[in-house]
Amino acid sequence: MRTFVLRARAAPTDSQALLASVGEAAHTEILAHTLMNAIFVAQSHRADVVVYLVLESTRDYSRTIRFESNAMRDIGGFDERRLLARVAHALDASRGMGKEETRAVEAGVTVQTLSFERLVQQLSADHQLFLMDRKGAPIHAQAFGANPCFLLTDHIPMPKKAIPGLERMGAKKISLGPTMLFASQCVVLIHHALDQPGQAAL
């Protein structure tokens, strides 16, 4: 299974604010682009991919929305509007949830009131963690096991003080080169690296 975690630091947990923020300061289109490139390929979708979107601009708890490609049904397309509609639907389904609760939303989609740190802590039990960072080790020098998990942010960087904690949980910094890319572009290049013959996470 390939897992991608997008820490969307600016993304609102209110569904209407989320939808109104496309192209605005919160740049919620990043969530749609990341989902699109993680899950979809031409005329199909990828098997064995999990995407967590962690939306952090909130009055109560972060919302962690989990999409599992194997369990998802047709969501009617892969354009920004349709993808963000699924995110908005999950946010609406999470209204009234207490801390660290989980709710099923629709086939292949769940929402949790779980922080990024707690999510990564849980994933660290059975995933190989990679923090995407231009200054990390080159991705092509990395051997991947069966369950790699890639940690990304939106346009706001990972807080510097969070990084030692992630490293203590086993996260290794890896790089896709010196150019600063969008998270969604990183996802494409990560899939490409993992698609090469000889990589375990096929």
Ligand X SMILES: C[S@@+](CC[C@H](N)C(=O)[O-])C[C@H]1O[C@@H](n2cnc3c(N)ncnc32)[C@H](O)[C@@H]1O
**Binding-site residue positions for S-adenosyl-L-methionine:** 132, 186
Q: Is 152 in the site for ligand X (CB under 6 A)?
A: yes
Q: Give 92-151 as a DSSP string.
A: HHTTT--TT-EEEEETTEEEE---HHHHHHHHTTTSEEEEEEEEEEEGGG----S-EEEE
Place of tokens 């490609």: 69
Q: Is 54 in the site for ligand X (CB under 6 A)?
A: no
The single residue among 81, 82, 99, 155 that binds ligand X, judged by CB under 6 A, is: 155
Sheet containing 172-175, strands listed edge to edge, beginning at the edge strand earlier in sequence: 102-106, 109-112, 63-68, 49-57, 2-12, 148-153, 128-138, 172-175
Quick one: which of 83, 76, 98, 22 has its CA closest to 51? 83
Pick the closer one to ligand X by CB: 6 or 87: 6
* DSSP one-letter code for 155: S
Alpha carbons 202 and 93: distance in angstroms, whole number: 33
Pick the closer one to ligand X by CB: 157 or 165: 157
Q: Is 188 in the site for ligand X (CB under 6 A)?
A: no
Contacts with ligand X: how many residues (CB under 6 A)? 16
Q: Is 186 in the site for ligand X (CB under 6 A)?
A: yes
Mask: binding to ligand X, 111-150, rule CB under 6 A, as x and -? ---------------------xxx----------------
Q: Is 180 in the site for ligand X (CB under 6 A)?
A: yes
Using a 10 angstrom Cβ sphere, with 0-12 exposed, 13-18 middle and 19 or more buried, the burial of residue 161 is exposed
Q: Is 175 in the site for ligand X (CB under 6 A)?
A: yes
Q: Residue 1 carries which side chain, given as an amino acid letter?
A: M
Binding site, by residue number, is 132, 186
Q: Which stretch binds ligand X (CB under 6 A): 55-63, 89-97, 103-111, 179-187?
A: 179-187
The answer to whether 11 and 67 have CB atoms below 8 angstroms apart is no
Min CB(37)–ligand X separation in Å:
12
Quick one: which of 63, 119, 114, 66 has its CA closest to 91? 63
Pick the closer one to ligand X by CB: 134 or 168: 134
Pick the closer one to ligand X by CB: 42 or 143: 143
Interacting residue ranges for ligand X, rule: CB under 6 A: 132-134, 152-153, 155, 157, 175-177, 179-183, 186
